[in-house]
Amino acid sequence: MHMADALLSPAVGGAFIAASSATLAFSAYRLGRQPDERRVPLMGVLGAFVFAAQMINFTIPGTGSSGHLGGGMLLAILLGPYAAFLVIASVLVVQSLFFLDGGILALGTNLFNLGVWPCFLGLLIYRAIVGRHVEGWRMWLGACVAVVVSLELGAAGVVIQTMLSGRTDLPFGRFLALMLGIHFPIALVEGIATAAVVQYVRAIRPGVVENGLGLSGSPPMGKRTLAPVVISFLAVAVLTGGVLAWFASEHPDGLEWAIARVRGSEQSEAESPVPALERLQQKTALMPDYDFPRRGEDQSASAGAADEPAATLPVNVGTSAAGLLGAALTLALTALLAVATYGFRPRARRAP
């Protein structure tokens, strides 16, 4: 469930990059306050461990398919919130570059969806349920509940980010239900697998799990210090993401319509607090025929008609054809250029 660049708008991507970078900097700062030299190689090697653990697949109980461990919650339980967040961030960077999961702009959203929830909220839940006794049913329950909550929040994050970016026409409710439904069994299996690994490690090497891998920098965190941080930057992220994306979205989709209705004003678009942005957007709509009907002419009417599928567009055959012809020509030119350059490239000068 990696978010992809193709589904993001610049505003949403940027807002989440900001939120995730802030969390990353904060985590690095907190780790730096309790330096422990042994942690440096351990964290690095555990990042690689996530990839290795994903090679070991297993059958998902009750179905015929096979899956693998995600590993986020396991890292959080073993390393504590800040170190785990850094490790997950490094894993996501490598995944986006070498395995093409997500993308460069989507790193912020992915780190938020897959890192913040398990490392901060999930771990709080796990520790609240498990307490000091890392064994028996409480550990299994704690791991399962923590993983289910953080994965479902991550899945909801994907839905919200996609809707805010305005790239999909899926109705919000159905999209959300679909994603939450798909991720529930996945999360349950992940929770069971996480608990099973923790239990195994405890059985073989007692003390490793309880003592936070024997590191000084990962004491059980107090709820006092963390909750305000999580809540405040969540609020900031949601606010910036919501507000920016609203103005950046070029198409009055369901969400925008819902916001307009909540505000009780049909003219929410015309009275945008950021008129310059709006104007820029109208100017930059390269193919006005591809755009929503006449948003420049009569704002209030267009906003009013936004909820019902507007009447047929003034289809301009000439423009459509010109656009298509231009696209085809560009494609041909680009391909020709590529083939020609590959053909004439000196072959002897190969990189070692």
Partner 1 sequence: MTALSAHTLDRLGYGDTVIHRLDPRAKTLATLVFVLTVVSFPKYVVAPLIPLALFPLTLMILGEIPPAAILKRTAAVSPFAVLVGMFNPVFDTQPMAQIAGLTITGGWISFASILVRFLLTVSAALALVATTSFPRICQGLDAMKVPRAFIVQMLFLYRYLFVLVEEGTRLKRARDLRRFGRRRGMRLRVAASLIGVLFLRTYERAERVYLAMCARGFDGRLRLPQRLRFRAADALFVVGTAAACGLLRFLPLVEWLGRWAGGWTPGTA
Site for partner 1, residues 240 to 279, rule: CB under 8 A: 250-251
Does 337 bind partner 1 (CB under 8 A)? Our answer is yes
Cα–Cα nearest to 147, from 187, 107, 108: 187
Does 338 bind partner 1 (CB under 8 A)? Our answer is yes
Range in contact with partner 1 (rule: CB under 8 A) among 41-49, 128-136, 223-231, 239-247? 41-49
Where are the alpha helices (H) located in 209-253, listed in sequence order?
Answer: 223-248
Of 74-93, binders to partner 1 (CB under 8 A) are 78, 86-87, 89-91, 93
Of 152-181, binders to partner 1 (CB under 8 A) are 162, 166-171
**Shortest CB 135 distance to partner 1, Å:** 15
Residue among 186 and 213 whose Cβ is closer to partner 1: 213
Range in contact with partner 1 (rule: CB under 8 A) among 7-15, 118-126, 129-137, 271-279? 7-15
Whole-number Å distance between alpha carbons of 210 and 202: 8
Cα Rg of the chain, angstroms: 25
Residue among 231 and 316 whose Cβ is closer to partner 1: 316
In single-letter form, the type of residue at position 159 comes to V
Does 44 bind partner 1 (CB under 8 A)? Our answer is yes
**Shortest CB 84 distance to partner 1, Å:** 11
Burial 250-286 (b: 16+ CB within 10 A, else e): bebbbbbeeebeeeeebebbeebeeeeebeebeeeee
Total length of the chain: 352
Of 11-30, binders to partner 1 (CB under 8 A) are 13, 24-25, 28-29
Residue among 231 and 338 whose Cβ is closer to partner 1: 338
Beta-bridge partners for 59 = 66
Count the site residues for partner 1 by CB under 8 A. Answer: 118
Of 118-147, binders to partner 1 (CB under 8 A) are none
**Continuous segment of H or E residues that includes residue 278:** helix 275-284
Residue among 91 and 121 whose Cβ is closer to partner 1: 91
In single-letter form, the type of residue at position 344 comes to F
Tell the residue number behind the tokens 């073989």, with chain if given. 204
**Shortest CB 264 distance to partner 1, Å:** 26
Out of 3, 147, 160, 303, the only residue in the binding site for partner 1 (CB under 8 A) is: 3
Tell the residue number behind the tokens 């904060």, with chain if given. 26
Does 231 bind partner 1 (CB under 8 A)? Our answer is no
Out of 133, 262, 273, 284, the only residue in the binding site for partner 1 (CB under 8 A) is: 284
State the number of CA atoms in the 13 A half-sphere of 39 facing the CB.
20
Residue among 36 and 229 whose Cβ is closer to partner 1: 36
DSSP-derived secondary structure letter, 114? I
State the number of CA atoms in the 13 A half-sphere of 124 facing the CB.
14
Does 94 bind partner 1 (CB under 8 A)? Our answer is yes
Evaluate the CA torsion angle 285, 289, 295, 298 in order and state its sign.
Answer: positive
Range in contact with partner 1 (rule: CB under 8 A) among 126-134, 139-147, 268-276, 324-332? 324-332
Contact string 182-201 vs partner 1 (x = CB under 8 A): -------x--xx--xx-xxx
| CA 179 to centroid of chain Cα atoms | 13
Out of 15, 76, 77, 105, the only residue in the binding site for partner 1 (CB under 8 A) is: 105
Of 49-68, binders to partner 1 (CB under 8 A) are 49, 51-61, 66
Q: Both tokens of residue 282?
A: 């109208």
Does 33 bind partner 1 (CB under 8 A)? Our answer is no
Q: Both tokens of residue 80?
A: 């504590």
Where are the alpha helices (H) located in 71-221, listed in sequence order?
Answer: 72-79, 81-98, 107-111, 123-130, 136-165, 172-204
**Continuous segment of H or E residues that includes residue 66:** strand 66-67
Does 37 bind partner 1 (CB under 8 A)? Our answer is yes
Residue among 60 and 265 whose Cβ is closer to partner 1: 60
